[in-house]
Amino acid sequence: MDPAARARSLFLSNETTYGCAETTLVALQEHFELPDASDSSPAMALNGGIAYSGGMCGAITGAALAVGRLAERRIEDHKEAKRTTRRIVQNLMAAFAAEHGATDCRSLTGFDMTQDHDAFIADGTWRVSCTEQIEFSIHYLERLATPAGWDAEMRRIRTDEAPERPDGDPG
């Protein structure tokens, strides 16, 4: 199944048991054919911008978890897998911000989930805007599932200037 279609089936189901982070994580894990792909538990607290705090969008954090799992399987050296994961997610975040104007849940939704979650659900715009953000993250990363897509991303990362951490350590 197309990973974006799978995400819609999870996110927009009548049960609505999956939030944005869980949906993105499961859809990408399935697409990447990772073990225990249906396990959404690592992303449970990431919905609503991390525990409804309005922070980083769950479509990004769920994607970050899936990319980390994929990188760990594809790159033997753990330190290199971490660097690669960070670069891929940094690029996703930049593209996401360019497309949607922000990366934080509160700015994207206009709701304070700690106070207004019921209003957010009742409003229903999440069915469109959050779905679009989930699909954006999935479409941005789905190419990594194939060896050719992964290799192209690795070449792109190597040609990009890697940002250093504030302490000057690129690791």
Tens digits of per-residue pLDDT, 22-55? Answer: 999 999 999 999 999 999 999 999 999 999 999 9
CA distances from 30 to 5, 24, 69, 106 (A): 12, 10, 12, 28
CB 81 within 8 A of CB 72: yes
Between the CA of residue 115 and those of 46, 106, 112, 119, 120, what are the distances in Å?
A: 17, 11, 6, 9, 10
**Range of weakest confidence among 2-16, 80-94, 143-157:** 2-16
Tell me what percent of the residues of the chain surpass a pLDDT of 70: 93
Phi-psi region of 56 (alpha: psi -120 to 50; beta: other; left: phi over 0): beta
Query: CA angle at residue 104 from 146 to 42, to 5 degrees?
Result: 55
Beta carbons of 85 and 99 less than 8 angstroms apart: no
Q: Does position 72 have pLDDT exceeding 60, yes or no?
A: yes
pLDDT computed for residue 82 by the predictor: 97
- Cα gap 126→140, rounded to integer Å: 20
Structure tokens that stand for 147 in this block: 């060896």
Grade residue 164 by pLDDT with cuts at 50, 70 and 90. very low
The answer to whether 34 and 19 are in contact (CB under 8 A) is no
> Does the predicted model carry a pTM greater than 0.85?
yes
